[in-house]
Amino acid sequence: MSTVAAPTTTSLFSPYALDGLTLPNRLVMAPMTRVRAAAGGLATPSMATYYAQRATAGLIVSEGVQPSLLGQSNPGTPGLHTAEQTASWRQVTEAVHANGGRIFAQIMHGGRVSHPDTTGLQPVGPSAVAAVGDVFTPNGPRPAPLPRALTTEEVPAEAASYAAAARRAVEAGFDGVELHGANGYLISQFLSSNANLRTDRYGGSVAHRIRFAVEAVAGVVDAIGSARTGIRLSPGATFWGVAERDVPELYGALLAELDRIGLAYVHLEATSDDEVLLGLRRAWQGTLIMNPALPMGPARAGRADADRWLGHGADLISFGRAFIANPDLVERLRAGLPLAADDEATYYQGGDAGYLTYPAYAHTA
């Protein structure tokens, strides 16, 4: 592992070597749910076009992809747990690579953030504690149901589902995978101190609450290698009603274990104050992707946010919503061009409108 770099004037547009994968710039397209998959969780030609349009990003991280039917959170999302799903993703990875890009698949197990109307199954979680809020279903928003608590014997199989999906991702042509350990989904639920009320080896102490995350990551690394494995985390976040005690200790312990295993990167969201995040930057000795904007917050991240975090020692900067309306975001930021506004009403509506219909910047004479 490399040591943490001192603050520098590193450019957002300088190349970066990510464990053997050369990125032409330091902009990462963050994972964003767009619910455009076909029936059966299949990737589509429109999805191939969408990602290929944004292939100038140094790295693309796909929308969350469920590793099993039980792990599906929202309707209309893609999977990586059947042969047909795996084959459907090849059109996406081939289109991105043909345009000169690089793409990781984000593996996302929803855990308790799901609904029987979506999967036909009762959601599972570390404990029988319902998420806070309404979840999306084919029949509209519904209150999050009470999940079934996984038994101690069942937990390793759910951890192993990430590795199974990772193998399929590599088979489908992805350059690697990112485990979704953030935003109140299954890994985050195990890290939590209120969604996880277990008294076995997966709950209670910090060492026990990080165990599921560590086992999931270790399984993926064993399956596809550390150079192809990253994880996204949201320290101190409260999505779907999760709460975390002792955030610096919890994430410090987790990062120490991840450092021992070895990963391509850790991807942090700005869900804690700078003091906590900078402490985690010092604790993590490898590549750090920083997402400066709070997910679903009032403002998009911009060039100033990126430069600030590069100065704080982040290696790569991820942008989410800015990539929705600006497929040429890299060039717009490089040239100081204005950014187009995204239409939030089209985020999850399906179809190509608000998906493939944002043009590149039109220069005028």
* Active-site amino acid positions: 185
**Gap between the terminal Cα atoms of the chain:** 49
Residue the block writes with tokens 């698949």: 105
Beta bridge partners of 230: 178, 265
SS3 content of the chain, % helix, strand, coil (to 5): 35, 15, 50
Q: Are 318 and 294 in contact (CB under 8 A)?
A: no
Q: Give dist(CA 279, CA 45) in Å, integer.
A: 43
Sign of the CA dihedral 67, 44, 326, 34? negative
What's the Cα-to-Cα distance from 256 to each of 190, 265, 285, 293, rounded to whole Å? 17, 13, 9, 25
Which one, of 288, 290, 362, lies nearest residue 327 by Cα?
362
Which one, of 11, 18, 8, lies nearest residue 60 by Cα?
18
Q: Are 112 and 147 in contact (CB under 8 A)?
A: yes
HSE-CB for 294 with a 13 A CA cutoff: 12
Residue the block writes with tokens 């209150």: 143
